Amino acid sequence: MSGASHFGRSPTERLKSYFVTGAVFVVPAIVTVGIILFVYLSVAGYLSPVAGMIADLTGVSDTGADLLTMGLLLVSVVVIGAVLETLPYGSTAADLFHRAAEAIPGVGQVYGGFREMSETMANGEESFRDVKLVEYPSEGSYTMAFVTSDAPTYLEESVDHAEEGMMSLFLPMGPNPVMGGFVIYVARDRVHDIDIGVEEGLQAIITSGVTISEDGDEPDIGGRMQQRLEGT
C-alpha cells in the first residue's frame, strides 16, 4: 500500500484496515496455539497417573512431570513405529493386534473406527484417488468430492446401476476435510471431472474456497470448475 493511498483515507477507513490486517495475522496464530493447547491438555489428562508417578520418583514439578510424560509418549510412538517398520514380522504383529482388538465385543467397532481415521490422517491425500464435482445439495449447485473407491457391486445392483457403475465419494466439510464429511455412492454419469489435483482440492476445502492457482496462466479453481461444467 502506498503512502499516498494510506494518508488519503479517513481515520475510520484506516482503523478498519488496521483491524483486518491484524486479524489476518493474529487469528491463525491464536487458533493454532489453541488447538495445540487443547490437544496437550487432553493428552495430559489421560496421562496424569503416569505424570504423578514421574513427579513422585523425580521430585519435579507437576508441569515438568507433564512435559516428561509427553516426551516419553512421543519417544514411545517413534520406537513402536520403528519396530513395526524394521522387524521382519512387524506388520504381521500389527495385523494380529488389530484383529484381536476389533474382535472384542463393544470395543472392536470403536477401535476399528479410530484406526481407519488415524490411517486416513496419516496417509493424507493418498487416501483420495481423484477430485470430482457432484450436484449437491440441490439442483444447480455443486460440491467438491474426493474419489475413495469404486462402489461395491451389490450396491450398484440394488439400485440398478450395475451397467454404468457407481463411485464411492467423500464429501468433506470445511475447514477440516479429514475429520468431517459424508460418504455417498453416485452413478458415474452424475459425476463431473475437474482439472485439479487432490492437494489443490484439499487446499480449497481448508481455505473455504478462497485458494487460487499459483500459476498466473491458469484460471483459479472456481474458474476451472465453471469451464468443466460448461463443457459437459
DSSP-assigned letters across all residues of 166-224:
EEEEEEE-TT-TTTSEEEEEEEGGGEEE-S--HHHHHHHHHTTT----S-TTS--HHHH
Percent of the chain with pLDDT over 90: 2
Cell numbers linked to 209: 474456497
Cis peptide leading into residue 88 (ω within 30°):
no
Cell numbers linked to 198: 487432490
H or E element: which one contains 131?
strand 130-135
H or E element: which one contains 27?
helix 11-46
Residue pLDDT, tens place only, 52-85: 888 888 888 888 888 888 889 889 989 988 888 8
Q: Domain ranges in the chain? A: 3-46, 128-230
pLDDT higher than 70, residue 229:
no
How far apart (Å, rounded) are the C-alpha atoms in residues 21 and 11? 15
The three-state (H, E, C) secondary structure of 28-88, written as one string: HHHHHHHHHHHHHHHHHHHCHHHHHHHHHHHCCCHHHHHHHHHHHHHHHHHHHHHHHHHCC
pLDDT of residue 226: 54
Q: Are 102 and 113 in contact (CB under 8 A)?
A: no
Q: Are 183 and 191 in contact (CB under 8 A)?
A: no
pLDDT higher than 60, residue 220:
no
Tell me the HSE value of 210 on the side-chain side, using a 13 A CA sphere. 4
pLDDT of residue 158: 81
Residue pLDDT, tens place only, 119-160: 765 655 556 778 888 888 777 888 888 887 777 788 777 877
CA 193, 197, 203, 206 torsion-angle sign: positive
Residue type, 103: A
